[in-house]
Structure 1
Amino acid sequence: MVLGVVGVLAVLAPLIADESGLDATKAEGGRLEGPSWRFWLGTDEVGRSVLVLVLWGARVSLLVGLAATVLSVGLGALVGLVAGHAGGGVSWVLMRVTDWFLVLPQLVLAIALATVLGPTQATIIVAIALTSWASTARLVRAATLSVSTRGHVERAKALGAGGWHVVRRHVLPGVLPLIAASATLQVASSVLAEATLSFLGLGDPGRVSWGTMLSRAHEAGSVSYGAWWYLLPPGLAIIAVVAAFTVCGRALESAFQEGR
């Protein structure tokens, strides 16, 4: 329900709040005004409605989270499938590369990539994806090895089925539930990573996300000013979305384990 509500609000943001509300030159409120009938969640440091910022920020935060997850899980699933099915030297090389990414501090590597490549939305997506695919690769490889030992897979091999046919028709359907659970959990991590990078000033300065809102609220001195309405909405939105994706991911994991 939480994800459904947030998703609908993000999609309908252009219909609920005009995008001109993001333009600081067209701000109609005062600096850090408290909640009122005119501005339900108050205003920011330049007089923009915090409610408008939260609605439009949901689009960026969810887009980055979902796009980074697609790239991350796609890369991890590909590496895991190839390593699990090919075996031998190919598997050894791929797993050593995976181990190298696993031991690296993800946040530090993401910060380095975002700094080198520049603060853009595409950069954040690539940085998150390249630092978070390794765990999925490990899980998919283990699931691939398990599925490959099942009877129907062995029969397909005995009947002369090629490697690509076995992977596509027999192995991949068996590991898809695990990939789906991993992807759901990865969205939560990606949304949190985007918020962290944006809070550190590495997000796209031309776009509003929940992370950039927290960064600007901190820079504007909203804590000392007592402007809780500027900090709480984006912070609670991040917590709600991350918690919802995590709960869904854990539920999928439990269902997958019971199904096995």
Structure 2
Amino acid sequence: MTSALVWARRRGSLARFWRGYREQRAGLWGLSVLLVIGAVAAAAPLLASGDVRSVADAPGGPMEAPSGAYWLGTDQFGRSLLGLLVWGARVSLAVGLLAAALSVAIGTLVGVVAGHYGGWFATALMRITDWFLVMPALVLAIVLATVLSRGLWTVILAIAVTSWPTTARLVRAQTVAVESRPYIERATALGGGHRHIMTRHVLPQVMPLVLAQTTLGISTAILTEATLAFLGLGDPSVVSWGGMLQDAREAGAVSSGHWWYLAPPGIAIASVAVAFTVCGRAVESVLNPRLGAAR
């Protein structure tokens, strides 16, 4: 009976959230864009052959302009840029999602622990957080990507390690606010331990903030991955949108005017980043109506 009541409340909360989200036109646009790009990435093996990523025996000529045979033209190896764009969506989205999830997980853990325990331990955690916060994130990510072995997991780790402090500070502030409420004192008086308080009472209250922060962090992670790949610090064995820009720069597409090599991956990166950003803002407005009213 209790379990059924809990699930009924969760379904009701999701229904109320969706009703509020549908009123956010920008959020709906962003969600539509993400669904389309996600579907394209999932169907990449059906839309483009895996051989399109190979530089050996590429069917097209180098740097061919868009045509009926190659809708977005070809690269310097004769590979279809449309096929590369489709396969690159998988890598860019995967890196963005995983890096943002890891970053938010680290920030949430640090924020909840610091807000719950307080004292010198919280002070030490916050000073470490401040150190990461004042460090230039891109510079630190470049250093990590340079020192560690090159690969997708290195890029994900570099992005996550440099982007968690903002989440940690937000979650800590929310945790302190939650723990000042009377029901936390009652739970403590009834014998609730630290783990019980943090997991059963504090974490559910900060999850809306965590969800919004994750959505916003994905766009930052995708842009950072594209920047690292553009600087030649990505995984050379995979195709990503940032890697395509790097290849275009090395092939001289900028100086030679081969716009069809630069425009598609650049537009794709910008579209996904904007879509995730407006979705995150919409989620914030739904979960925090006062924030939406202020805007």
Match of 1:80 among 111, 115, 122: 111
> What SS does structure 2 have at the residue aligned with 1:125?
helix
Match of 2:201 among 170, 186, 189: 170
- Cα distance in 1 between the residues matched to 2:202 and 2:152: 35
Question: Which runs of structure 2 are paired with 1:20-169 in the superposition (5 Å)?
Answer: 20-169=51-200
Letter in structure 1 aligned against 2:220: S
Letter in structure 2 aligned against 1:112: V
- Cα distance in 1 between the residues matched to 2:242 and 2:145: 15
- Cα distance in 2 between the residues matched to 1:23 and 1:35: 20
Letter in structure 2 aligned against 1:166: I
> What SS does structure 1 have at the residue aligned with 2:288?
helix
TM-score of the two chains, using structure 2 as the length reference: 0.86
Question: Which runs of structure 2 are paired with 1:3-14 in the superposition (5 Å)?
Answer: 3-14=34-45
Would you say the 8 A contact 1:44–1:230 is kept in 2?
yes
Alignment correspondent of 1:17: 48
Which segment is superposed worse, 64-73 or 150-159? Answer: 150-159
Would you say the 8 A contact 1:153–1:170 is kept in 2?
yes
Alignment correspondent of 1:196: 227
Aligned-pair CA distance for 1:259 = 7.4
- Cα distance in 2 between the residues matched to 1:172 and 1:224: 53
- Cα distance in 1 between the residues matched to 2:183 and 2:74: 62
Aligned-pair CA distance for 1:130 = 0.5
Deviation string for 1:211-239 (max 9, x for gaps)? 00001101111122221111111000000
- Cα distance in 1 between the residues matched to 2:67 and 2:82: 11
Deviation string for 1:151-174 (max 9, x for gaps)? 322221222211111111111110
Aligned-pair CA distance for 1:91 = 0.5
Deviation string for 1:155-195 (max 9, x for gaps)? 21222211111111111110000000000111000000000
Alignment correspondent of 2:278: 247
- Cα distance in 1 between the residues matched to 2:177 and 2:284: 16
Aligned-pair CA distance for 1:26 = 2.4
Deviation string for 1:1-27 (max 9, x for gaps)? 000001110011011111101111121
Q: Unmatched 5+ residue regions in structure 1?
A: none
Deviation string for 1:47-104 (max 9, x for gaps)? 0000000000011111111111111110110000000001111100100000000000
Would you say the 8 A contact 1:20–1:26 is kept in 2?
no
Letter in structure 1 aligned against 2:67: S
Letter in structure 1 aligned against 2:53: L
Alignment correspondent of 1:227: 258
TM-score of the two chains, using structure 1 as the length reference: 0.98
Letter in structure 2 aligned against 1:114: A
Letter in structure 2 aligned against 1:245: F
- Cα distance in 1 between the residues matched to 2:134 and 2:246: 29
- Cα distance in 1 between the residues matched to 2:179 and 2:289: 19
What is the Cα-based RMSD across aligned positions, in Å? 1.1
Would you say the 8 A contact 1:30–1:47 is kept in 2?
yes
Q: Unmatched 5+ residue regions in structure 2?
A: 1-31
In the alignment of these two chains, the number of paired residues is: 260
